[in-house]
A and B are shown apart, each in its own frame.
Chain A
Amino acid sequence: MNGKRTDDILNICLERLFLGDTIEQCLASYPEMAAELEPLLRTAMLSRQAAAISPRPEFRARARAELLRSVSQRPEPRRRWFAAWQPAWVTSLVAVLVLLLAGTGTVAASANSMPDEPLYPVKLATETVQVTLTRSPLDKAVLFTRLADRRVREIAVMAEKGKAGEVERAARRLDIHLTQVARLAAPVGQVVESEGEVTMMAPAESEGEISIMAPAPEAPPDAIPAPVAPPQRPRPPGVPPDDKEKTRRPEGAPAERPALKESPGRGLKEQQEQKLEKRAELKRKLLQRASEHPEVLLKVMDRAPESAKPALRRAIERSSQGYQKALDSLE
């Protein structure tokens, strides 16, 4: 009898037994081989039954707890060299130097690069510079909205290529951008939730106090979410208030807007009107993208390979939630 055929038939029978067939049912399918197969199948089933043991439940539970504790206690995975050591201002400085050294041609060429392309880090560095050089919080919010557009395009392209990891990373960046939009556009004191963290908004008009998370150059898969301003903690009894706290409004008191500097030739009212206009424009853009982006990504879902679909689904979810969060903050 052909050895290869016996190997195959034995395996077919084993698969059937594993799925619930009896030995007799298998033998009936191969009567000419029954005498040879029968003892082998019995041996295999006995061996499989013997192997069906489990660890002690208490050990299993303890081991799981220890493992999770061990993983959570480990230091965060190392970020890539570029992102590992720098405070935010160093990122910007290095980015500026990179751009100067690389030249405008490289920057221009990187503008349309995708996450799987060599120039993509240059694109991210350029964006970092743009964010850093944009002073007004509302202008920053508008800029982050534009960056969100780019991330959505990247998600779509990467999903079509079946690159689930890149889809995840781009979606994370998208979430960070939209969180920043929410943060920058939120009225003073509003709480914005972002991926499990709850952050009290810094006053939107007080430039310099806003925590800016520029998109990390070539963020690694294990990149952590954007650093955010920590929630304000209650002052311990007996500790005098610091200067900042003295100016903080009491709970329940109406929000006080910081006094706006009156620029020459422009009245306070004019500046306020401009801000209102910008906020209205930002809201229009966000409303438009809130409906467009999920649609764009849903269309990609039909064309994307199966391997990228779960990541794409999560990206759609993040996009919807992110825009909702940003829009809520504008209300």
Chain B
Amino acid sequence: MQNEQDLVLRAQQRDEAALTQLYEANFDKIYRYVVIKIGDRTEAEDISQQVFLNAFKSISTFKRQQGIPFSAWLYRIAHNQVVDYLRKKAKRPAVPLEKVMIQAEDDPTMTAERNLDMEQLSQAARQLTSAQREVISLRFAGGLSIAEVASVMSKSEGAVKALQHSAIVSLRKLLSV
């Protein structure tokens, strides 16, 4: 985290190397987070790029003293970006979840061994509550710790653990794992 703080200070001075490092360290995670939430890889690339563009434009306003690490700040920007995107796409029909579940039930003997793909996970995640989906996205796609998720979501660690538990239980049912 200390390194991140260093990088951010340098990035605030438009140090290109620092900006590149921040990008390299976070881009894939942000991308995964966005994919899980919207289920479209191509759109996720554009949204992730926009997240970084917004972040780098306003990086001078970021202050570590506000109590959140830079990565958490990035996820908040990503969250807002995704909300905007979903709002605009609200009228687009979603693929019904039954499709996913039927696929899973086609071969029950393979269920435990099968490879779940991102699209299936994303579709299942959309059936969760928004808080559960946020925890799953941040934990499994973003790779954040419970403490970091708690910081992003402004919740206690206990609440995040409970959400994580209930989200996994729901995912299990939805995916018939």
Task: Identify whether the interface residues of B are mostly helix, strand, loop, or mixed.
Answer: helix
The reply on A274 being an interface residue by CB < 8 A is no
Contact A39 B177 (CB under 8 A): yes
Q: B115: which A residues are within 8 A, CB to CB?
A: 46, 49-50
Contact B140 A47 (CB under 8 A): yes
Q: A51: which B residues are within 8 A, CB to CB?
A: 32, 35-36, 118, 121, 140-141
Bound CA–CA A50/B121 (angstroms): 7
Contact A7 B116 (CB under 8 A): no
Bound CA–CA A67/B56 (angstroms): 8
Q: How far is the CB of B174 from chain A (nearest CB, A)?
A: 9
Bound CA–CA A311/B8 (angstroms): 12
The reply on A164 being an interface residue by CB < 8 A is yes
Chain B: CB-nearest residue to A76: B14
Contact A48 B140 (CB under 8 A): yes
Q: A4: which B residues are within 8 A, CB to CB?
A: 158, 161-162
Bound CA–CA A244/B49 (angstroms): 51
Q: A66: which B residues are within 8 A, CB to CB?
A: 49
Bound CA–CA A307/B52 (angstroms): 25
The reply on A118 being an interface residue by CB < 8 A is no
Q: Given the known A-B contacts A47-B121, A48-B140, are A10 and B27 also in contact in the complex, defined by CB atoms under 8 Å?
A: no
Contact A60 B9 (CB under 8 A): no
The reply on A64 being an interface residue by CB < 8 A is yes
Contact A11 B161 (CB under 8 A): yes
Q: B48: which A residues are within 8 A, CB to CB?
A: 55, 63
Contact A53 B14 (CB under 8 A): no
How many residues on the B side are at the interface (Cβ–Cβ under 8 A)? 51
Contact A54 B146 (CB under 8 A): no
Q: A55: which B residues are within 8 A, CB to CB?
A: 27-28, 31, 41, 44-45, 48
Q: How far is the CB of B130 from chain A (nearest CB, A)?
A: 17
Which of B32, B52, B136 meets A63, CB within 8 Å? B52
Residues 294-331 of chain A: 1 if any B CB is under 8 Å from the residue's CB, otherwise 0?
Answer: 00000000000011001100000000000000000000
The reply on A42 being an interface residue by CB < 8 A is yes
Bound CA–CA A168/B10 (angstroms): 10
Q: How far is the CB of A1 from chain B (nearest CB, A)?
A: 12
Q: Given the known A-B contacts A39-B172, A55-B28, A310-B2, are A44 and B19 also in contact in the complex, defined by CB atoms under 8 Å?
A: no
Chain A: CB-nearest residue to B6: A310
Q: A222: which B residues are within 8 A, CB to CB?
A: 12-14, 60
Bound CA–CA A51/B120 (angstroms): 10
Chain B: CB-nearest residue to A39: B172
Q: How far is the CB of B7 from chain A (nearest CB, A)?
A: 10
Q: How far is the CB of B110 from chain A (nearest CB, A)?
A: 12
Which of A3, A7, A54 meets B164, CB within 8 Å? A7
Residues 77-100 of chain B: 1 if any A CB is under 8 Å from the residue's CB, otherwise 0?
Answer: 000000000000000000000000
Q: B165: which A residues are within 8 A, CB to CB?
A: 3, 6-7, 10-11, 40
Q: B112: which A residues are within 8 A, CB to CB?
A: 42
Bound CA–CA A8/B157 (angstroms): 10
Q: B158: which A residues are within 8 A, CB to CB?
A: 4, 7
Contact A307 B2 (CB under 8 A): yes
Bound CA–CA A168/B20 (angstroms): 21
Bound CA–CA A11/B56 (angstroms): 33
Q: Given the known A-B contacts A43-B172, A44-B140, are A63 and B116 also in contact in the complex, defined by CB atoms under 8 Å?
A: no
Q: How far is the CB of B171 from chain A (nearest CB, A)?
A: 5
Q: Given the known A-B contacts A77-B60, A164-B5, A310-B2, are A8 and B161 also in contact in the complex, defined by CB atoms under 8 Å?
A: yes
Q: How far is the CB of B161 from chain A (nearest CB, A)?
A: 4
Q: How far is the CB of A58 from chain B (nearest CB, A)?
A: 10
Which of B36, B136, B140, B168 meets A40, CB within 8 Å? B168
The reply on A101 being an interface residue by CB < 8 A is no
Q: How far is the CB of B138 from chain A (nearest CB, A)?
A: 11
Q: How far is the CB of B121 from chain A (nearest CB, A)?
A: 4
The reply on A74 being an interface residue by CB < 8 A is yes
The reply on B16 being an interface residue by CB < 8 A is yes
Q: A53: which B residues are within 8 A, CB to CB?
A: 31-32, 35, 41, 118
Query: 5 A–B contact pairs at CB < 8 A?
Result: A6-B165, A11-B164, A164-B5, A221-B9, A310-B5
Chain B residues packing against A (C-beta within 8 Å): 2, 5-6, 9, 12-14, 16, 19-20, 23-24, 27-28, 31-32, 35-36, 41, 44-45, 48-49, 52-53, 56-57, 60, 112, 115-118, 120-121, 136, 139-141, 146, 158, 161-162, 164-165, 168-169, 171-172, 175, 177
Q: A3-B162, A43-B171, A50-B118 are in contact. List 18 more A-B contacts (CB 8 A).
A: A7-B162, A10-B165, A10-B168, A11-B164, A40-B168, A42-B112, A43-B177, A44-B140, A47-B116, A50-B115, A50-B117, A51-B35, A53-B35, A56-B45, A68-B20, A221-B13, A222-B13, A311-B9
